[in-house]
Amino acid sequence: MDRRLASLALLALLAAGPVAARADDLATVRSKVSSAMHAAKSFVVTTTASTGFSVTMTFAAPDRYHSTLAYNGQGRDVVLVGPVAYISDGAAYRKTDAPPEVVAAQAQLRDVPVDQVLPDRTASGRTWGQFTTTSAGPQKDQHLTCTYDKKTFRINDCSNEGLTLTFSRYDDPANIVTIPTNLATPAPGAAH
């Protein structure tokens, strides 16, 4: 009886045809997500935190970032072009050298490490690939779960219990980061 069941199971397996190879191994996902994010000419990331802090950041290759931050009714606008920062609290922009950790944090949005591949997730009738990542931060590391498009390997979102980053508008021609022209005049004798 056992031999007969084994034969039937083998026959059913052979009749089912070839099973699609699982492309979601760690090395493949790591490589394809990295390639997809580096190939993007531009994108927008909207970050919201449970503390009420929010940031909308537009990236335009190769090294331009425009972030609008909001927290406790206050706002700040930051434009990074390479190592130069332009900062405004609602008035004219101040031009300054960007701290290296700020430049590195912005660049991390294109270099999201894939730590572990998780099972796919279906939401609103669409299947997303998933992975976990750890993002180093100035206060503490953030452990996030990210979803990605299974065809393009572009990141859709990353989140944990207190933070959500939503990626959108990939390669949208409207994603333009311009250097501010309304610069504050430094006070006489101030260091540049």
Give me the CATH number covering residue 99.
2.50.20.20
Domain hosting residue 60, numbered range = 22-168
Residue 135: exposure state from Cβ atoms within 10 A (0-12, 13-18, ≥19): buried
Q: Which residues contact 113 (CB under 8 A, 6 or more apart)?
A: 30, 133, 134, 135
Q: Is residue 179 part of a domain?
A: no
Domains in the chain: how many in total? 1
Average pLDDT for 127-135: 93
Percent of the chain with pLDDT over 70: 82
In a domain, 130, yes or no: yes
* pLDDT average, residue stretch 53-65: 95
Average pLDDT value for residue range 158-163: 94
In Å, how far are 16, 18, 36, 48, 178 from 4, measured between CA atoms?
18, 23, 49, 59, 72
